[in-house]
Amino acid sequence: AQSVTQLGSHVSVSEGALVLLRCNYSSSVPPYLFWYVQYPNQGLQLLLKYTSAATLVKGINGFEAEFKKSETSFHLTKPSAHMSDAAEYFCAVSDPGANSKLTFGKGITLSVRP
């Protein structure tokens, strides 16, 4: 069975500050890992994904994440927060097989202060 842990439910940063959203996973097989963003009243948009290639993954809007197998982590970072980054962020894991259903963490709401 797979699981994802996102500690805390809310993170607040100042505009221009570093964004760090933590994600730890549990999986019995080498996983695929994803970060999705959800803006209010919208669906999920893929930010980035790890599929067993480079461990440092760059995504859209300046976000990146590093897969660390020894720590079973896939933390999301952005060097400088923008007001437009305020949203809910979900980390997810899947098997690389045919049925790659996603198992999501509970999500973290990011607020950006002016």
Nearer to other proteins, 81 or 93 (CB): 93
Per CB under 8 A, the list member of 75, 86, 104, 109 interacting with other proteins is 104
Q: Minimal CA–CA distance to 102: which of 45, 33, 5, 55? A: 33
Residue 89 makes contact with other proteins by CB under 8 A: no
Per CB under 8 A, the list member of 17, 102, 109, 111 interacting with other proteins is 102
Nearer to other proteins, 32 or 81 (CB): 32
- Cα angle for residues 7, 24, 109 (degrees, 5° grid): 40
Buried b (16+ CB within 10 A) or exposed e, 2-24: bebebeeeebebeeeeebebbbb
Residue 22 makes contact with other proteins by CB under 8 A: no
Residue 101 makes contact with other proteins by CB under 8 A: yes
